[in-house]
Amino acid sequence: MKKLGVYSRIFFTLIFTGVIFLFLLIALFIINNKQGKLMFNESETQFNTEVKSLITLKTNTLKQVAYDYTYWDEFVKKINLGDSVWYSNNITTILKTYRIDYVCVYDTSFRVVHEAYNEGFIPRRFISMDALAKIRETRFLNFFQVVSAGVIEISGASIHPDNDPTHTLTKPSGYLFLAKSWNQDFLHELTLLSGAKTKLSLPSDTIAKNDNYSISYVQKLHDWNDEIVARLIFIRSSPSFKLYKQMSVYMILIMLGSVLTTWFILHLAIRKWINKPLKLVKSILETEDPSQVNELQQCQGEFKLIGLLFREFISQQDALRLTKERAEESDNLKTSFLNNISHEIRTPFNGILGFLKLILEEDLTDDEKAEYGDIINISSSRLMNTINDIVEISQIQAGQIKVSTSEININKLIKELLDRYKADAENKGLKFIAENSLPDNSEYFNTDRNKLLIILNHLISNAIKFTKSGFVELRIQLIDKVDEILFSVIDTGVGIPKAKQKIIFDIFMQGDVSNTRSYEGSGLGLAIAKAYTEMLGGKIWVESDPEIESEWKGSVFYFTIPYFREQKEVKAFKKMEVEQKPENTINSKKSGLKILVVEDDESSAFLVEVAVRKFARELIEVNTGIEAVETCRNNPDMDLVFMDIKMADMDGLEATRQIRKFNKDVIIIAQTAYALTGDREKTIEAGCNDYISKPIVTNELKALIQKYF
């Protein structure tokens, strides 16, 4: 080779490179063929998946309807009554609703109780006794049957009451069979949906072989004995694959000619300065390997800049992937949360409206009216709790909550909690106790009393709600090393799985967001408790293991707040159990009050008047703030004013300011539908003596009168 001249070297070099390139083209052709076959196989696999999904979708409707209609108390009652009107209104309508051709109801002796079918469908009692005997064993049955008119899909299920959705706890009360004809219209619909030619054939029929550019799928249809009675065939032509193979040949030929005419201009240096970086680029696109990105960044020229772009691209792609996952998770959780909130609002509304209509019936006894009234009160309280939680979490998210620190007495706070949850605990047969382990003379400290009370309310109410037997205990102790108070709410309830323990404090997250959960509530309580704990400078967590083998199962919720100690000579509150709270009574030393009710809503005004009528020697009602100011100016002996806040011409706050300019002694109690944090402070600042939020509870209203008179 050294003796050859430059021309010979170039000639032999070209021959050598040409042979190499020829082998490369052959390899490319082989690979291209394999890739084409792979594409064809993938297309066939995808086609099979699509067809299977389509068939599953079409057959699931019949099975689901049969399943849904066969655990129904009313159906069980009507099975032997022969109520043709009921069957017409409730069973025959299945045909039109779900586009089914035939419905038949049998009793337990397989006598036909009710039969209905669409026009053009000839039943002729095509369901054999073997199939009827089979369903007696399996409770559910889905099969195909060939009749003179074609293939029929049949689904059947045994009939059971509401409390047996699995059809295994009770004996069958009868049997429901549904049928749908797989006629030409149905096959045409499958053809449109699948984009493939569709036909039915018997097992003995021969399936024509497809050409090399068509894909097919065969679905075997079984009877009740799992024997093949028919085959559903889908065939889809694939001209694009044929075109792909032709274009592949043309492409290789064009490449061969082009490369052979231009190959002499290539230089070995290209391998170093272009080929290697391009391979790195391709590998990075396929694998996103960071080490290869670093290698590409070490190349010279433009490839170094491309390496920097890849580095930024991979980082952005990771960030986008994480953002997408979080967004999808958040969207799913918000949907479940909104469904829950809708349920928590509509359910008590149903109780309120339903029993209000019942209570107005004239033939009710006093006991029935009292019972319905209790249900209305319970539903109203549940609705208010849900609304309060929504308002509270909205304020927290909007950053409108401020911490108002003052000195509190922990003993009084515990006593208030014990009294508040006495009835809830006793109604469930639970023991509710509190243990305060703070040092003597340490019951006073500074914090936001309202937020601390809200945290404890949520934790204690949750503990009682999720505990069926045992006890709920509140413990309070001092952590000297960090000057913090540790609160513990202990229960013997259902416990919380470890997978849920880190997320139950987040907004839109609950331990159970399914439609079958057993406990009511908005699911915002723990999120509110966490937010308020952090506002107070503490932290909150839970410990629970519902899988442990122990007599004591349940959860322990802990939270801490900073402890600012005040030295006071007060005996420590060590341990208390639930005590009977004395009922409020109105002090009768002063009666015959002169009362002004300022309210622009007629029903609200009437409620206040009814509640205070027995204590009034004179009762005056006005509708606007201007009238309230003038009435107080003309009646300096006014004892008590119930002031609505939201009114058209002059709101209650401004009316109170005007009244205080000439009357400092009259008792003014604000009443408003606003119940946000800070509203009470606004009314007191304007000059009101006290505040009551709507909906107004008459006992609370009477307690306020007792407080000032």
Q: What's 414-481 look like in SS3?
A: HHHHHHHCHHHHHHCCCEEEEEECCCCCCCEEEECHHHHHHHHHHHHHHHHHCCCCCEEEEEEEEEHH
Burial 345-372 (b: 16+ CB within 10 A, else e): beebeebbeebeeebeeeeeeeeeeeeb
* Residues 6+ away with beta carbon under 8 Å from 274: none
Q: How many residues does the chain have?
A: 709
Give the count of beta carbons closer than 10 Å to the beta carbon of residue 615: 20
Q: Which of 237, 253, 244 is nearest to 34 (CA)?
A: 244
Q: How far apart are CA 565 and CA 407, in angstroms?
A: 10
Q: Please give the pLDDT value at position 160.
A: 93
Supply 318's token pair. 């990771």
Supply 226's token pair. 């799992």
Q: Please give the pLDDT value at position 243.
A: 73
Whether this model's pTM surpasses 0.75: no
Residue written as token pair 């000439």: 662
Torsion, CA 364, CA 365, CA 369, CA 371, rounded to 10: -120
Mapped onto helix, strand or coil, the DSSP state of residue 563 is: coil
Q: How far apart are CA 410 and CA 573, in angstroms?
A: 8
Q: Give, as one character, the DSSP assignment of residue 71.
A: B
Q: How far apart are CA 188 and CA 130, in angstroms?
A: 32
Give the count of beta carbons closer than 10 Å to the beta carbon of residue 303: 19
What residue ranges in 205-313 does DSSP mark as E strands?
Answer: 214-222, 228-237
Walking along the chain (709 residues) 10 residues at a time, the average pLDDT comes out as: 49 70 79 78 84 86 90 89 88 90 92 88 79 90 86 92 90 93 86 87 74 80 90 82 72 73 61 69 77 77 78 81 78 66 68 73 75 77 72 74 85 89 86 87 86 91 88 90 88 83 70 47 78 91 74 82 65 40 42 87 80 87 93 94 87 93 93 66 89 77 85
Give the count of beta carbons closer than 10 Å to the beta carbon of residue 566: 13
What residue ranges in 616-689 does DSSP mark as E strands?
Answer: 616-622, 640-644, 667-672
Contact 605, 478 (CB under 8 A): no
Is 182 exposed, middle or buried (CB count within 10 Å of its CB: 0-12, 13-18, 19+)?
Answer: buried
**Residue 406 to residues 165, 445, 448, 454, 457, Cα–Cα distance (Å):** 56, 8, 6, 16, 19
Residue written as token pair 């509203």: 679
Q: What are phi and psi of 155, to 5 degrees?
A: -130, 135
Q: How far apart are CA 117 and CA 470, in angstroms?
A: 57
Mapped onto helix, strand or coil, the DSSP state of residue 290 is: helix
* Residues 6+ away with beta carbon under 8 Å from 505: 526, 527, 529, 530, 540
Please enumerate, as own/partner, the contacts of 583-590 that have beta carbons within 8 Å and a separation of 24 or more.
Answer: 584/699, 584/702, 584/703, 584/706, 585/706, 586/615, 586/702, 586/705, 586/706, 587/706, 587/709, 590/709
Domains by residue range for the chain, with CATH = 43-239 (3.30.450.20), 269-400 (1.10.287.130), 403-577 (3.30.565.10), 593-708 (3.40.50.2300)
DSSP code per residue over 98-163: TT-SEEEEE-TT--EEEEEE-TT---TT-S-HHHHHHHHHHSEEEEEEEETTEEEEEEEEE-B-TT
Supply 477's token pair. 């102790």
Give the count of beta carbons closer than 10 Å to the beta carbon of residue 232: 20
